[in-house]
Every structure is written in C-alpha cells, then in structure tokens.
Amino acid sequence: MPILNEISALVKRIPTSMQEILNERVIQIRAEIQQGVKKPYKQVLNLSSGDPQALSLKPLTFVRQVLAGCLYPTLLHGDTLPADVRQRVQKLLGECAGEGTWSHLETHGIRKLQHSISDFISRRDGVASDPDNIYITNGSTAAFMTLLKLFVPNGSSLQTGVLTPEPSYNGFKFALAAQGALVVPYYLREEQGWAVQLDELHRAVLTAKGYCNLMALYVINPGNPTGHVQTKDSIKDVIRFAAEERLIIMADEVYQSCMIGEGMEFCSYKRALMEMGAPYSNMVELASINSISKGLMGECGLRGGYVELVNFDPSMKQNIFKLFSAMPCASLMGQIALHVMVDPPRPGQPSYPLYTNEIQSNKRAIINNVRRTLGVLNSLPAITWQPVMGGMFAFPRVSFSQAAINYSQERGQEPDVMYCLRLLEDEGLCFLPGYELGMTEGIYHIRITLAAQEEIMKEALQRLKNFHLRFLKEFPTLERPGGNTNPDPLTATASSVMGHADPNTPLGWRH
C-alpha cells in the first residue's frame, strides 16, 4: 500500500475547485478542436476567471518595456525604449544587489519598493503608511495564505474561525481549508444590493460561539463576485464591529482600481480606520491586500502583490518578519510591475500619454462590457441582476424551472453547475457557476468576467443568448424555484452610490 494513503487531512479537506475543473475541460475542448473534432464553435471563450490578458486586454506598454529593460539591459543603449523607461530601469537596477541585473532581493521586498508602496498608500488615503509594515508577496493569495499561518491554529484549543462573506472569492476559502480554519459565513443579500449587513455579521458571530475561536473577518471590496462597492460609512460600521468582536480585518482590496460607475470612489479600510481616530485607529488590526493581477494592470501571470499590516502588536513583528522571510520571495517580475503600479509615469514624462490612454482604454472596455452585458441580460427571461459598481464581474441570478432542477439533480449537479457545463459544451463559453462562490440554497447565479476585449465580450454574449433561449425551450416552465420568498432583486437600492457613464442607459438597472 502506498505510503501516501495517509496524507494531510487538511489537504484532503480542500474542496475541488470548480474553476480548475472548468479550466481543464476548456483545455481539453481546445485540444479536441485542434485535433479536428467537430464542434459548433471554432474556439472556446473562457470567461470564468478574472484574467484580463487571457481575454486579450492589452498589458500596459510601460510595464512591459520596463520588464524588458530590466531583463536585458543592453536595450538601454539606443532608443528602442523611451527615455523614461530607460531611467526607470536604471533606477531599478541600481536598487538591486547585482550590478546590471535584478536579482534575489531581501525577502519581504526591496526597501525602495516598500517605500514606493507606502508612498502610494499615503497618496491614496491621505494618511501615513509605514514601509516596515509592507510585505511583498507572490500575489494576493500568497499574502492570505501566509497571514493565516500566523493564527491558524491559534493558542486556544478551538479551531480558528474566520468570518467570510457568501458569496465571495473561492480562493480565500480554499486557503482557509488548506490551513485548517473554519469558515463562518455571513451572507450578502442580493435584495440589499449585496451590501454588508451588520445584523447579519452579528448573527454569524453567534453561530460561531462555542464552535471556534473567531479571530478574523474577511471582507472583499470592491466585491467579487458581487460587484458591490462599500460606502465609507459601511466600512466604518464594519470596523466598529470588528473592534467590538475583537477581530482582525483581512481586507481584500485587489479590485480597488476598478470603479465602474462614474464618480464612484474607492475608500480603503485603512483610510476609513484612520479617519475614525482613537481608539479604533490604533487598535483595530488590519491587513490590507492589493495585487498587480486585478484592476487595470491585469498582470496575473507575473504574480505580485503586497499586504500592509496596520496596528499589529509590536511583539509580533519578529514572528511576522520571520514567517514572510521563510516563505519563497516574490518573483522579481512581479515586483517590478508592482513598482510601476504604485509609481506610474507622471505628467510630462514621455510615456505618460500612452500609459494613461491604455489605462483609460482598458477601463472603457470594462465599462462598455458592463453595459453590453447588462443589455443582453435584460433581454433574457429568467435572469435578474444587481448593479455592477466596481470590480470585474457581473453576477446575475438565473431562475430555473422545476424541470431544469430535476434534470440537474438526476445528474448529481447543482442547477447552475449544470447550466455552466452545458454552456461550455454546447457553445464553447465558460462562466463560473455561483455555486463555486457560496450561495444560499435554492438561489442560483453565474459569474461573468467583464475584463475582456470588447469583441470577445460581444461574441460571448451572443453565445450566451443563443444558449439561454435554447435552454428555456428545453425547460420552458418558468416557475420560480420552490418556496422562494426573496424579494425581487430589482427592488434593490444602490442608486445612491451608482454612477452612470451614460444617463440614458443607467448601468446596472433593469427596466
């Protein structure tokens, strides 16, 4: 019998990622097409994950030029690269240990990068940020995984519990499972525009009493998959709640640059916390996480991110430093992109116009995709949705007839999973079933990535439309799922924080 039959119980408890299953199937279908297997489509469109460049959104030229220059400094001679790129490269090369090449740097990132990040945070929030509190990681997930190690398991005999929104980013729950923490769900309610509700947080705390040692609260703002953006007041309420309940706040703010409605402004947890003043501002422990993967950089493949730790006990510093040091250090390419993200070209520099243009153009693509997507969803029966205020996803709700539910149950699948799998097989289009992200039973959603090239989005929406109408013909009874007493999501009120690119077609509102 193989030794490995007894393996880590924690690993066994990590759920299978639906995302991975779908991705593998996508790869397989692509291979089939290449081998000449007949399909009703020429290529597969995978809109299941927030991966902008995979969906042909362009990387920022400045970022890529700087990377190329750092990798191959010979390019600095001559004018292949613009002057400000060359300057940036020289600055970066000068800061690292090796001459002329970037190399292994101090584990939690080079000093200068920490300083640049803390400057960025200070500019963003209007409050000081200490570079010593910034740890650079291989993307946001690595930051979460390392942070969780600090208090999972904890000093008590009970398992560590973490308040986690449902629905929310699946990867965080996988990280919790991998480390052996308990998910204490608090439900975001569609009928309240996916806003965090204090009474729901309090209810969730009560469910945890006696079962686990509740130590942290995970929030994700702007929301994934919900597209909700928290107001400053709401954030302050959450902070007060965390203070009362003695919870570390883990704020996932990777979509901070993705504000969709015009006039929408991102308020970081750090800023809200500092505005609240003492005792909160020097008491509540906050870990704020950002990444180069999301937002308008979209550099998922380079793997770069950081976490800022605020108000952690000074006695913990050595342990935190040690832990981050013992972890493999962040990739240099990721560090370089991170450097550009927090210190982009400035007005007057040669690359500034192009950089700004590209950022705007990516942003425009996402906003157009939101409008386009919601337009198509509007035309489809049995689909309802909430406004998309920020982030990279739409999260419409699909109502299934009893026949469809029966059909999926016969296959041992949740209806939304069945829907997405069929959509993939029949139309070569991949969305993520809401099931993967955690939902109330009997209510079904699909997550649609909006960070894609516009042509791809158009094609995807056409396929969705074709499929959905065919699906409704197959399962025509449009009854609501049994016992559904939820108020109609259309009555949600989020208009106060909604901005519109075009006043004639309000984003996120169904007529």
Partner 1 sequence: MSICVLRAQMLPCKTVLSWTRGTGNRCDIARLRKCGVCYVPNLSPVSFPSRTLSNLATAHSGLARREMAENEALSRRQKVLTIDTMNANIKKVEYAVRGPIVQRAVQIEKELKEGVKKPFNEVIKANIGDAHAMGQRPVTFFRQVLALCSYPELLDDDKFPEDTKYRAQRILKACGGSSIGAYTASQGIECVRQDVSRYIERRDGGVPCDPDNIYLTTGASDGIVTMLKLLTAGEGRTRTGVMIPIPQYPLYSAAIAELGAVQLNYYLDEDKCWGLDISELQRSLQAASKHCNPRVLCIINPGNPTGQVQSRERIEDVIRFAAKERLFLMADEVYQDNVYAEGCKFYSFKKVLYEMGPEYFNTVELASFHSTSKCYMGECGMRGGYMEVINMDSEVKAQLTKLVSVRLCPPVPGQALMALVTNSPQPGEPSHAQFLKERTATLGDLAQKAKLTEEILNTVPGIRCNPVQGAMYSFPQITLPERAIREAKEKGQAPDMFYCMKLLEETGICLVPGSGFGQKEGTYHFRMTILPPADKLKILLSKVKEFHQRFTKCYS
State which of positions 380-439 bind partner 1 (CB under 8 A).
410-414, 417, 421-422, 424-425, 435
Residue 83 sits in the site that holds partner 1 (CB under 8 A): no
Residue 79 sits in the site that holds partner 1 (CB under 8 A): no
What residues contact residue 472 under an 8 Å CB cut-off, 6+ apart?
381, 382, 478
Stretch that binds partner 1, among 170-178, 258-266, 362-370, 374-382 (CB under 8 A): 170-178
Nearest of 177, 146, 140 to residue 162 by alpha carbon: 177
Nearer to partner 1, 279 or 381 (CB): 279
Residue 212 sits in the site that holds partner 1 (CB under 8 A): yes
Looking only at the bridges linking them, the beta strands covering 182-187 and 248-252 are unpaired
Nearer to partner 1, 87 or 378 (CB): 87
**First-last CA distance in the chain:** 63
Residue 107 sits in the site that holds partner 1 (CB under 8 A): yes
Question: Which of 44, 142, 260, 340 touches partner 1 (CB under 8 A)?
Answer: 142
96's torsion region: left (phi>0), alpha (psi -120 to 50) or beta?
beta
Question: Which of 169, 218, 280, 471 touches partner 1 (CB under 8 A)?
Answer: 280
Question: Residue 425 Cβ, how far from partner 1 at the closest point, in Å?
Answer: 5
Question: Which of 44, 45, 47, 49 touches partner 1 (CB under 8 A)?
Answer: 49
Question: Residue 461 carries which side chain, given as an amino acid letter?
Answer: L
Question: Residue 510 Cβ, how far from partner 1 at the closest point, in Å?
Answer: 25
Question: Residue 197 Cβ, how far from partner 1 at the closest point, in Å?
Answer: 8
Question: Which of 41, 53, 76, 382 touches partner 1 (CB under 8 A)?
Answer: 53
- Looking up tokens 């970022």, which residue turns up? 63
Residues in 288-317 at the binding interface with partner 1, rule: CB under 8 A: 298-303, 311-313, 315-316
Question: Residue 505 Cβ, how far from partner 1 at the closest point, in Å?
Answer: 29
Question: Residue 234 Cβ, how far from partner 1 at the closest point, in Å?
Answer: 7
Question: Residue 504 Cβ, how far from partner 1 at the closest point, in Å?
Answer: 31
**What gap in Å lies between CA 135 and CA 150, rounded to an integer?**
14
**What gap in Å lies between CA 331 and CA 136, rounded to an integer?**
10
Question: Which of 92, 117, 121, 176 touches partner 1 (CB under 8 A)?
Answer: 176
Question: Residue 84 Cβ, how far from partner 1 at the closest point, in Å?
Answer: 15
Max Cα separation, the chain? 71
Residue 68 sits in the site that holds partner 1 (CB under 8 A): yes
Question: Residue 398 carries which side chain, given as an amino acid letter?
Answer: V
> Contacts with partner 1: how many residues (CB under 8 A)?
145
15's torsion region: left (phi>0), alpha (psi -120 to 50) or beta?
beta
Residue 193 sits in the site that holds partner 1 (CB under 8 A): no
Residue 501 sits in the site that holds partner 1 (CB under 8 A): no
Question: Residue 210 Cβ, how far from partner 1 at the closest point, in Å?
Answer: 10
Question: Residue 502 Cβ, how far from partner 1 at the closest point, in Å?
Answer: 28
**What gap in Å lies between CA 38 and CA 31, rounded to an integer?**
12
Q: For 452-490, give one letter per residue: b (16+ CB within 10 A) or e.
A: bbeebbbbbbebbeebbeebbeebeeeeebeeeeeeebe
Nearest of 485, 142, 172 to residue 306 by alpha carbon: 142
Nearest of 379, 297, 383 to residue 334 by alpha carbon: 297
Question: Residue 501 Cβ, how far from partner 1 at the closest point, in Å?
Answer: 25
Nearer to partner 1, 271 or 294 (CB): 294
Nearer to partner 1, 201 or 448 (CB): 201
Residue 353 burial (C-beta neighbours within 10 Å; 0-12, 13-18, 19+): exposed
Nearer to partner 1, 343 or 436 (CB): 436
- Looking up tokens 């613009």, which residue turns up? 82
Stretch that binds partner 1, among 230-238, 381-389, 394-402, 471-479 (CB under 8 A): 230-238
Nearer to partner 1, 337 or 377 (CB): 337
| 393 and 369 Cβ atoms separated by less than 8 Å | no
